[in-house]
Amino acid sequence: MELNLLSGLLLLALLCLALLPFAIPGVLEVLLSLAIAAFVSAALMWFGWLPDDTSLVLLSLAMLTALSAVLLWKPLRKLQKTGIRLQEDSAISDFVGTELVLTEQANKDSDSHIQFCGLEWRVRLDPEDVALLVEPGQTVVISSAMVGLLLVKSKTS
């Protein structure tokens, strides 16, 4: 089987798309732009609007990569910033509002532990809670969730 420019461009585009899930943010934009440019160049060749000349195809690939990178830069940055904000904002966690029954005493100064969703979590009484400590066996409500730590409020507050 002979590898011509058209099939080479399609192979390049598919390879770039296959590598996208493994790319770090700086490389992600380049791979996506290159994949789009390769697909567009291949389509231009397929319809006969771009001659089958290596130098023209490479020039087209470079120009279309730059154009798609410029057009995609702002939307991709906005998506990445939104993803970071959502990940750090514990107020939107799915756990907030969930009721738990404590197995250990919880207070504001030190962490206790609880089994929740198949994991062992550190539990601390929320600084805004009026209670100073909550005894084991009492029901609490998760007020905030961070990586490995649940802040809880007593059910009476």
Query: Can you tell me the distance from the alpha carbon of 27 to that of 17, in angstroms, rounded to the nearest whole number?
Result: 12
pLDDT at 62: 95
How do residues 83-93 score in pLDDT, each as one tens digit? 434 344 444 46
Residues 67, 72, 76: CA angle, nearest 5 degrees: 160
Residue ranges of domains in the chain: 5-88, 92-154
CATH of 92-154, one of 3.40.50.720, 2.40.30.10, 3.40.50.300, 2.40.50.140: 2.40.50.140
pTM over 0.75: no
Residues of the chain below pLDDT 50: 1, 83-92
Query: Can you tell me the distance from the alpha carbon of 67 to that of 79, in angstroms, rounded to the nearest whole number?
Result: 19
How do residues 136-147 score in pLDDT, each as one tens digit? 888 888 888 887
pLDDT at 10: 93
3-state SS, one letter per residue, for the chain: CCCCHHHHHHHHHHHHHHHHHHCCHHHHHHHHHHHHHHHHHHHHHHCCCCCCCHHHHHHHHHHHHHHHHHHHHHHHHHHHHHHHHHHHCHHHCCCCCCEEECCCCEECCCCEEEEECCEEEEEEECCCCCCCEECCCCEEEEEEEECCEEEEEECCC
